[in-house]
Chain A
Amino acid sequence: MQSANVLLKKIVRSSVLPFAAQHGMKKDLFPLSRTLSLSLCLKEDNSCNPSEKLDLDAWKKVMKSGLQEEVSETVSERKELSALAAARELLEMWRLAGRSVPENISDEQLKTFLECPSKSAKKKYLRYLHLKELYKKNDKRKMDEKRERRLESQEQASKTDENKRNSFVCLWANCMDRAYSWRVAQSMIFGQPLIFDMSYEKDMSVREVANTVRQIVLSEGCNRRSVDPFHIHFCNFKDDSLYHKEFIKHYREAWGKLLITVTDQCYTDVFPKDKLIYLTADSPKVMKTFDHDKIYIVGSMVDRSIKPGVSLARAKRLGLETAALPLEKYLLWNTGAKNLTLDQMMQILLTLKDTGDWKAALEFVPKRKYYGFVSKPVHQLQKTLNLINTLKLGKRQEEVQKQFAKSYSKKLTQK
């Protein structure tokens, strides 16, 4: 029933209003033409007496007719259902009932579904598959539309014939690729290393690992296209790990040709310890400037269920220096966790490396997470904070605000 209710809410929101008018609730709110047509309908309603000749149970006859033959089959079949087939049938019924369930599901996904530990886990997994299916369908539809449009425009173009002449042969993509590769190769010899610590596999679910790899692939793309790329290292990388499998899914043959260093060694074995800085949002130390001589480490982890201190623990164990981005110093934080995605980290680090400008770098923090940049001097900031707090808390708690503003400014001056 719950799903039905949700559905109901969704539909009710978009449903037309005239039906309310039928019972005279909001009649005067509607444009005249509407009410007129409805009142016509109402009149007819009253004129004929419908219940007289209506056979209310007629639907039962319809439903029961033509079913007799099938019954015998279903009974014998019922016993032979294996667990998978039974689950498939249950899903089909849920789909008929209007729950968010995927239309097509593979045996592998069905197995994962059966292995979910609880009902809510099952529901979540189905919803995830359902949404994935929807997105895929939409994408496909858009692709098809695009292709049609392209074909049309090509037809038109062929009619108008080639008028344009260009001095360059159209090989942009290829050329750019070569230029990028050259730069990255350069950086592999002379560039500043950047380490992705690939030792968090056991802290993550399969889906989180997939997300992580996706983010790293994006980061690698950003790095490749930048003016002065990092020399990317994957440390603690085990062959045949989940990470590895996911990477191959993304890169296919290109995995062997990537211009990055992949090693199963720990970064402490590859680089001198005093040069390493572990970047983690839990770090008590805040990064002031980007140091071109240091080697920064980013933990390759997505933690959907928040696990505080995991990467800090790793740095503590190895006795490494840690640092956090100065988010609070430059941004008036709104909501959300301070941990950023790996590709955002990469963008920020690349910008810092090129310009050293925190403001430009922190543009890559998602906008929903902060109100704005802290650009004014501290005493002005205090004023705005006071204002925000009076609005939030009312006048009585002025004391609290003062305290808050004081501690906030103290924090700012400390950093």
Chain B
Amino acid sequence: NIQPPEKPLQAEEWNRLRESFQSPAVFEEVMFNSMIRCNSPIDVAKSLLTHVAKNNGDIGYNLLVKYLALCVQQGQTSEIHDVYEIMKTKFKILESGAYNLIIRGLSNSDQWKMALTLLEEVKKIMIPSRTNYECCIKAAGRHQEMNLAFELYREMLTKDLVPTLDVLQAFFDFSRGMKGAELQKELFGILLYLRNNQIYPHKMFMRSIKLWFESIPGGNWRGQLTNIKDSGQCPVCNHQLEDSDLTEEEYDNLRERIIRDVIHGTDTFRKTSPQEFEAFQTFVENRLPFDIVIDGLNVSHIKPRKMQCENLFDAVNCLAKDNARLLVLGRKHMLINSSNWKREIMKEMQNKADFFFAENISEDDAFLLYATLRSGKHCKFVTRDFLRDHKACLSDSLTRHLFRKWQRGHQIEFSPSVEGKRINFLPAFRYDCVVQTTGDTWHIPYKDTFEEKYSYRVPRKWLCIQQK
């Protein structure tokens, strides 16, 4: 590791350093990198640049960019300006790295409007990155130019750039205490963006939202943190949250897409065969509707020490209350008498539930989805699988969101205490975990931590906002 000097050096001192360095060819680069790392004073960097310029009569682009990075790091606006001027005269265009730095540097200074012109320049040669937009939006917001900020935000969305949570949060922070129906509408739009894309804000972001609501002049909004009851009722305002049922149209759409993308895909033979799928379809049509569809093989592995058919038997018994109509999906090998699959137990189960056995090399999960969707809105399914691979087969994000929404409301999972003797199930969610509003109330689920580790895990904490 190489330490940059603390004071500007003379040419001969640089020379000496350079000669004692292992590979003199990259000396300047390495030196600059460590200057950036140690945040050295820019006078030191300048002295090195001067040395290079005097020796070679020119400074390479990469060194200029590195110097720029150092200036940005320390907020040296005039230097950023100078470097940009030099770069502009020397090169026809710049590349993304330099633009990123200049935009970032200038947006944090009082010359932030210059960052906007640079953004225009970037647009001529490529699509700006989302951080480019983020810098400009934040700069505009910081100077109370909310219209401009929203314009940039919309432009970014039309370019299919996904805004960072930071930008969204910034909008709420900058609008705090500001008046205007138009502004309010825009911010509600952001909340709806969260809803449509099933994004959950983190704690800090949630706080910004709460503070903004409470700061609206004459709005009389009050926010409170809460946990929603299992019934789906908010303990603060007693409002019943919406359920995750899809509309008729969405339902049909999702079913069609599951058949097309998940079951058939590029080749029906990959997951099943046309004959088998047809046989399954007629089987389901003849016995509709089911209340619960069970992934037999998945359930049979809940407790590894028990015989597999016993596990399944327990699960079927547990779910068969209230005359619920059950469908168990399995594979043909379950019918062969073996140490794990006893014929008598299988026989007994078949009295309590309908069974469909797929070929051993077919995928039964796809059938599970089809049967559940075909049975209607009330039908639930049981599996420990998160079905991520099936969600991934769906080709557009809209359908994937529909799928997630439907899955949240219709998947029955096992209760985590598997240690006990009996098998227990967690009922499917009665309410949908998503940002929602009724006009005079808002309910916003939020994550405790910033990191979103598991896409299938939904937050249990909520922000309830109501207008008094």
Contacts and interface: CB of A to CB of B under 8 A. Distances in A.
Interface of A: 1, 3-5, 7-8, 11-12, 14-20, 22-23, 25, 37-38, 41, 44-45, 48, 50-51, 54-60, 62-64, 67, 70-71, 74, 77-78, 86, 89-90, 93-94, 96-99, 119, 203, 284, 308-310, 312-314, 316-317, 399-400, 403
- Interface pairs A-B: 9 shortest CB-CB: A313-B269, A96-B61, A93-B95, A19-B2, A59-B53, A62-B53, A8-B33, A56-B46, A59-B49
23 contacts: A3-B97, A5-B33, A7-B33, A11-B33, A15-B30, A16-B20, A17-B1, A19-B17, A54-B50, A55-B50, A57-B46, A62-B58, A74-B92, A93-B94, A96-B62, A97-B95, A97-B97, A98-B29, A99-B95, A310-B267, A310-B270, A314-B267, A399-B305
Contacts of A41: 16, 20
Contacts of A399: 305
Contacts of A403: 304
Interface stretch (B4-12, B346-354, B372-380, B398-406): B4-12
> Which of A15, A16, A119 has the largest count of B CB atoms less than 10 A from its CB?
A15
B1 A71 contact: no
Nearest to B57: A62
A16 B21 contact: yes
A15 to B, nearest CB: 5
A51 B89 CA distance: 29
Interface string B79-96: 000100010011111111
Interface of B: 1-3, 5, 7-10, 13, 16-17, 20-23, 26, 29-30, 33-34, 37, 43, 46-47, 49-50, 52-54, 57-62, 65-66, 69, 82, 86, 89-98, 100-101, 125-127, 266-271, 273, 304-305, 360-361
Given A1-B100, A8-B30, A78 B361 contact: no
B62 A51 contact: no
A151 to B, nearest CB: 31
Contacts of A14: 22-23
B33 A4 contact: yes
A63 B26 CA distance: 21
Contacts of B16: 41
Judged by DSSP, the binding face of B is helix
Nearest to B22: A16
Contacts of B100: 1
Given A4-B65, A50-B7, 20 more contacts: A1-B97, A11-B26, A11-B29, A14-B22, A19-B3, A20-B1, A38-B20, A45-B9, A50-B8, A51-B7, A54-B8, A54-B10, A62-B53, A63-B58, A63-B59, A90-B95, A93-B91, A94-B96, A97-B65, A310-B266
A3 B305 CA distance: 52
B38 to A, nearest CB: 10
Contacts of B62: 4, 96-98
Nearest to B67: A59
Contact of A93 (B7, B22, B61, B266): B61
Nearest to B65: A97
Contacts, number: 172
Contacts of B126: 90
B59 A59 contact: yes
Given A59-B46, A93-B61, A97-B97, A1 B54 contact: no
A22 B3 contact: yes
Contacts of A77: 92
B72 to A, nearest CB: 10
A48 B9 CA distance: 10
A59 B54 CA distance: 7
B2 A4 contact: no
B89 A64 contact: yes
Nearest to A86: B125
A15 B16 CA distance: 16
Nearest to B30: A11
A269 B82 CA distance: 74
A12 B1 CA distance: 6
B26 A317 contact: no
A78 B53 CA distance: 27
Contact of A59 (B20, B52, B96): B52
Contacts of A11: 23, 26, 29-30, 33
